[in-house]
């Protein structure tokens, strides 16, 4: 089925009712009467296949179209609404191993909004941890609160502890549903007292709303001896905040910053151009003729769009810091465009990783939607279409172990300390490596902080599941 695409996006990174042509498929016979099975999903499934055949990085591994079941009548879970979703995943290359990244969503408008940092949510992220080894009750440790979100306006902040939602104790069964099923929630805050986490008596009430993520969550200049250290918490690569990002680096440059700590522990990716901007603002001996990265595509796309073979090069940035090295704070939530920065800069300078192994995503996908007028269905899909390599041709972090840290530090001291607290776990280690001076663990702590030895259910997870995608994307064609 030929579909005209007016615009689409690349992503490194699901189901509804729609109006479409009803295709006729295999006839069946009951007694002496022959009937024909029809599927309202066959046209959409055919479109999904055709788009994958053209764009998919592993298009050569797709089965022939006539070997697939275009006329699926139920999805994986037996629901009619899951048919096209199930068909899409049935085509992926060794899903969920080799291709654990391609995805599809029912409403492409919601999809593109999330890629722009827009969601309907409370606006916070948390780590969910069992309170003890009985693995019954759960505590939420708030790891980040989006600036200007309903959660922030209500008074929630990084470091807060949540034990109940609307009066119900969080446990291993309801820890996700209590967030998902409540548009308005009263959060019962906790404290560590007499060796246990207990309710403090304080509550915060918030109602979900449309949230625009401001990825420049926190910035600070830390002076220690002859070191002027820039510290930036950056949570998503968003082009709309590029000018603000340049201003932060301008402040760093004016102050004479000679070391930089880039905190990407909660950054799952975003727009590749913003990742390239950060690389150009940081790299030592900036040269606009040097290659940041190159993208590898399937043979069909390389023949149809030769420009995809053009390497991406550094851009001239007046606020470039010309650093000898970069410190990056990481967790398993550090993914895609975040990992691209690490990989792109390694040929030109020392990149010191502090924290935990990154997610491991070196591939990207394209946002595809039906451009018919009127559109026949609202699906948006994200098939993987490219692999990135740095100027040395290196791209060996695309496994579930990602990049390994130079300094292994677990982000498991709870509750989380405020951004910029010099005794905060990962920042503390980076500052010690930079200065050679040990920082007391409780330098500015007035509360009790402790390591939890029980099971971590989720780490740095947004209250809106759609925001937890690991992605990177660019405008196409180049």
Q: How would you classify the pairing of strands 227-234 and 259-263? A: parallel
Instruction: Classify 223 as helix, strand or coil.
Output: strand
CATH code: domain 216-363+385-445 is 3.90.226.10
Separation of alpha carbons 136 and 131, rounded Å: 8
pLDDT at 81: 55
pLDDT tens-digit readout, 207-263: 999 999 999 999 999 999 999 999 999 999 999 999 999 999 999 999 999 999 999
CB 339 within 8 Å of CB 397: yes
139 vs 25, which has greater pLDDT?
139
Backbone angles phi, psi at 95, to 5 degrees: -70, 135
DSSP class per residue in 277-298: HHHHHH-TT--TTSEEEEEE--
pLDDT tens-digit readout, 75-128: 555 554 578 888 999 999 999 999 999 988 888 988 888 888 888 999 999 999
pLDDT at 116: 86
Separation of alpha carbons 344 and 62, rounded Å: 31
CB 210 within 8 Å of CB 120: yes
Distance of CA 230 to the CA centre of its chain: 24
- CA angle at 177 for the pair 172 and 182, rounded to the nearest 5°: 140
Query: Residue 302 is inside which H or E element, if any?
Result: helix 299-304
**pLDDT at residue 11 greater than cutoff 60:** no
What proportion of the chain, given as a percentage, has pLDDT over 70? 85
pLDDT at 75: 54
Separation of alpha carbons 165 and 167, rounded Å: 5
Token pair belonging to 432 = 């010690």
Instruction: Classify 82 as helix, strand or coil.
Output: helix
Residue 477: pLDDT band (50, 70, 90) is: low
CB 20 within 8 Å of CB 47: no
pLDDT at 364: 87
CA dihedral 400, 402, 405, 409 (to 10 degrees): -40
| pTM across the whole model | 0.88
State the DSSP code for 367.
E
Token pair belonging to 422 = 């010099």
Q: What is the mean pLDDT of residues 289-315?
A: 96
Reference 404, options 327, 331, 460, 324; nearest CA is: 331
CB 185 within 8 Å of CB 122: yes
Separation of alpha carbons 280 and 319, rounded Å: 9
- The CATH-assigned architecture of domain 120-212 is Roll (2.30)
Q: How many CB atoms lie within 10 A of CB 112?
A: 17
pLDDT at 442: 64
CA 413 to each of CA 334, 354, 426, 450: distance values in angstroms, whole numbers, following the listed order: 19, 15, 10, 5
**Burial environment of residue 392 by CB neighbours within 10 A (0 to 12, 13 to 18, 19 or more):** exposed
Token pair belonging to 152 = 């922030």
Q: Where are the domains of the chain?
A: 120-212, 216-363+385-445
Q: How many CB atoms lie within 10 A of CB 33?
A: 7
Q: How many CB atoms lie within 10 A of CB 432?
A: 15
- CA angle at 19 for the pair 16 and 22, rounded to the nearest 5°: 110
Query: Residue 51 is inside which H or E element, if any?
Result: helix 42-55
**pLDDT at residue 14 greater than cutoff 50:** no
**pLDDT at residue 202 greater than cutoff 70:** yes
290 vs 452, which has greater pLDDT?
290
For residue 127, list its beta bridge partners. Answer: 141
Sign, Cα dihedral of 104, 106, 107, 108: positive
Reference 197, options 138, 124, 133, 125; nearest CA is: 138
pLDDT tens-digit readout, 361-378: 999 888 899 988 999 989
Reference 127, options 357, 458, 465; nearest CA is: 458
pLDDT at 255: 98
State the DSSP code for 74.
S
- To the nearest whole number, what is the mean pLDDT of the chain? 87
CB 363 within 8 Å of CB 338: no
CB 420 within 8 Å of CB 409: no
Q: How would you classify the pairing of strands 380-382 and 103-105? A: antiparallel
CA 454 to each of CA 18, 132, 206, 450: distance values in angstroms, whole numbers, following the listed order: 45, 6, 29, 12
């Amino acid at each position: 089925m030929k579909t005209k695409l007016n615009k689409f996006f690349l992503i490194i990174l699901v189901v509804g009712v729609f109006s479409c042509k009803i295709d006729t498929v295999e006839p069946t016979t009951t007694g002496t009467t022959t009937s024909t099975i029809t599927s309202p999903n066959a046209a959409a499934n055919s479109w999904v296949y055709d788009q994958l055949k053209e764009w998919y990085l592993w298009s050569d591994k797709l089965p022939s179209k006539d070997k697939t079941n275009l006329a699926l009548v139920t999805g994986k879970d037996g629901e009619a609404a899951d048919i096209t979703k199930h068909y899409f995943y049935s085509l992926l290359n060794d899903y969920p191993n080799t291709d654990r990244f391609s995805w599809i969503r029912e409403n492409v408008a919601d999809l593109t909004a999330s890629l722009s940092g827009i969601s309907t949510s409370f606006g916070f992220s948390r780590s969910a941890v069992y309170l003890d080894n009985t693995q019954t009750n759960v505590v939420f440790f708030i790891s980040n609160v989006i600036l200007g979100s309903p959660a922030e306006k209500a008074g929630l902040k990084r470091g807060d502890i949540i034990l109940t939602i609307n009066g119900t104790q969080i446990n291993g069964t309801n820890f996700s549903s209590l967030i998902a099923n409540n548009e308005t929630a009263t959060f019962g805050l906790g404290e560590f007292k007499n060796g246990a986490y207990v309710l403090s008596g304080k509550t915060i009430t918030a109602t979900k709303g449309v949230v625009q993520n401001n990825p420049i969550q926190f910035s600070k200049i830390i002076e220690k001896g002859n070191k002027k250290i820039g510290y930036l918490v950056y949570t998503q690569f968003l082009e709309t905040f590029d000018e603000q990002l340049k201003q932060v680096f301008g402040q760093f440059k004016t102050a004479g910053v000679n070391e930089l700590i880039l905190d990407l522990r909660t950054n799952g990716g975003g727009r590749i151009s913003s990742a390239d901007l950060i690389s150009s603002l940081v790299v030592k001996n900036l040269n606009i003729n040097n290659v940041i990265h190159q993208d590898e595509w399937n043979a069909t796309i390389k023949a149809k769009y030769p420009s995809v073979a053009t390497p991406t090069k550094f851009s001239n940035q007046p606020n470039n810091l010309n650093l000898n090295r970069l410190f990056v704070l990481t967790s398993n939530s550090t993914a895609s465009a975040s990992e691209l920065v690490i990989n792109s800069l390694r040929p030109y300078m020392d990149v010191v990783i502090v924290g935990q192994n990154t997610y491991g995503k070196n591939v990207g996908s394209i946002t595809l939607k039906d451009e018919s007028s009127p559109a026949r269905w609202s699906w948006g899909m994200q098939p993987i279409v490219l692999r990135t390599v740095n100027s040395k041709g290196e791209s060996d972090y695309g496994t579930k172990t990602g990049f390994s840290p130079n300094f292994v530090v677990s982000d498991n001291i709870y509750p989380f300390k405020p951004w910029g607290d010099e005794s905060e776990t990962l920042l503390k280690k980076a500052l010690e490596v930079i200065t050679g001076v040990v920082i007391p663990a409780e330098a500015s702590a007035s509360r009790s902080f402790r390591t939890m030895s029980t099971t971590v259910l989720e780490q740095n997870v947004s209250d809106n599941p759609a925001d937890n995608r690991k992605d990177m994307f660019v405008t196409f064609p180049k």
